[in-house]
């Protein structure tokens, strides 16, 4: 069975911030990932082989180009994307790429997305969290969304650290390490990304760009568990939308399994969304390959669904062969 993982991270000096490096060093359990983020050669390939993963779709770790502005943002995103293109070219059967975009310069970001797809062969773009405090339903980002739709490539919505105002209200008054984790991987990342994709729906983005495809990770960022209630509340007040809110998860939104290695969340996602919208991911190197692959191999699901999750769905979405 071919296995493709799509939320898999690397770092490049053009985009890796000093603050991010300091954060990794502050948390002993995360410090070890930096070496793996920088390894896009022999060590990473050994890890893939050991877990039986055939292909990683690489994206720059958070924070990315979204934090930069002006000419610096454009230049550094271009530099990181060119470096990733060389990585993919060196191992074209093991790696593919997501574009880093200078999102604070939306017109330049749209141009870079076209270049990365048409010239570098990338499979889409990954955007880390809010951009200068704004969600992607903000009108300024229409050029990027339009370009993705025209190119027929998805945008992967990945979490990022919360805005300072949010962090101050929600996560202050706690020991720093607990606040940092609660704001990010333990809870905050997932709730914010869930809100992000729901905003795209209720703001009418997928009606304006009906062919636009968006991927969210972490087994759907808690949405599968809550989708029935979300739909019951939002659909009756969203009369201008072309379809019920829940239906966008069958026409425009995909989820990946990144960071989740136990069966109950997958069971919920399968029951709510079905196997056709779920894509295997690891969240490497923040999550080890082996437990993610073990879930894929051992989950008590139909083999046809296992094949869809492992490779069939992403081949269909990305046009991979």
Question: Which tokens is 302 given?
Answer: 């139909």
Confidence of residue 21 (pLDDT cuts 50, 70, 90): low
194-230 tens-digit pLDDT? 999 999 999 999 999 999 999 999 999 999 999 999 9
Higher pLDDT, 18 or 139: 139
Q: By residue range, what is the domain housing residue 146?
A: 4-318
Question: pLDDT band at residue 32, thresholds of 50, 70 and 90?
Answer: confident
> Catalytic one among 82, 138, 283, 297?
283
Reference 61, options 154, 156, 140, 135; nearest CA is: 156
The whole-number pLDDT of residue 18 equals: 58
Task: Name residue 278's beta-bridge partners.
Answer: 255
Question: For 18, left (φ over 0), alpha (ψ -120 to 50), or beta?
Answer: alpha
- Domain total of the chain: 1
Per-residue pLDDT, 20: 58
pLDDT band at 319 (very low <50, low <70, confident <90, very high): confident
pLDDT at res. 225: 98
CATH number of the structural domain spanning residue 262: 3.20.20.140
Range with lowest mean pLDDT among 20-24, 284-288, 293-297: 20-24
Q: Is the pLDDT of residue 24 over 60?
A: no
Q: What is the mean pLDDT of the chain?
A: 95
pLDDT in tens, 69-126: 999 999 999 999 999 999 999 999 999 999 999 999 999 999 999 999 999 999 999 9
| Least confident among 18-22, 252-256, 298-302 | 18-22
**Calpha distance 48→5 (Å, rounded):** 10
Residue 239 is encoded by which pair of tokens? Answer: 């009369």
283 is catalytic: yes
């Amino acid at each position: 069975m071919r296995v493709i993982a799509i939320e898999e991270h690397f770092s490049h000096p053009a985009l890796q911030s000093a603050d991010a490096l300091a954060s990794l060093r502050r948390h002993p359990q995360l410090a070890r990932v930096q070496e793996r983020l920088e390894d896009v050669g022999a060590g990473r390939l050994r890890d893939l082989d050991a877990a039986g993963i055939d292909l990683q779709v690489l994206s720059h770790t958070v924070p990315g180009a979204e934090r930069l502005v002006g000419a610096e943002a454009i230049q550094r995103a271009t530099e990181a994307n060119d470096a990733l293109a060389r990585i993919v070219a060196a191992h074209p059967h093991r790696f593919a790429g997501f574009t880093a975009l200078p999102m604070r310069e939306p017109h330049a970001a749209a141009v870079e997305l076209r270049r990365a797809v048409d010239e570098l062969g990338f499979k889409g773009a990954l955007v880390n969290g809010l951009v200068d405090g704004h969600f992607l339903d903000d009108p300024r980002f229409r050029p990027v969304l339009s370009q993705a739709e025209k190119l027929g490539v998805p945008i992967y919505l990945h979490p990022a650290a919360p805005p300072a105002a949010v962090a101050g209200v929600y996560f202050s008054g706690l020991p720093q390490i607990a606040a940092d984790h609660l704001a990010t991987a333990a809870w905050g990342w997932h709730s914010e990304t869930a809100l992000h994709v729901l905003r795209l729906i209720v703001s009418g983005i997928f009606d304006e760009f009906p062919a636009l495809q968006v991927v969210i990770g972490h087994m759907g960022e808690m949405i599968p568990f809550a989708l029935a209630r979300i739909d019951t509340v939002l659909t009756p007040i969203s009369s201008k939308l072309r379809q019920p809110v829940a239906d966008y998860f069958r026409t425009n939104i995909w989820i990946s399994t990144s960071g989740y290695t136990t069966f109950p969340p997958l069971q919920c996602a399968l029951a709510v969304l079905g196997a056709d919208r779920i894509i295997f991911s690891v969240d490497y190197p923040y999550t080890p390959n082996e437990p993610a692959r073990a879930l894929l191999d051992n989950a008590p699901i139909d083999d046809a669904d296992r094949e869809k999750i492992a490779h069939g769905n992403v081949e269909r979405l990305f046009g991979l062969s």
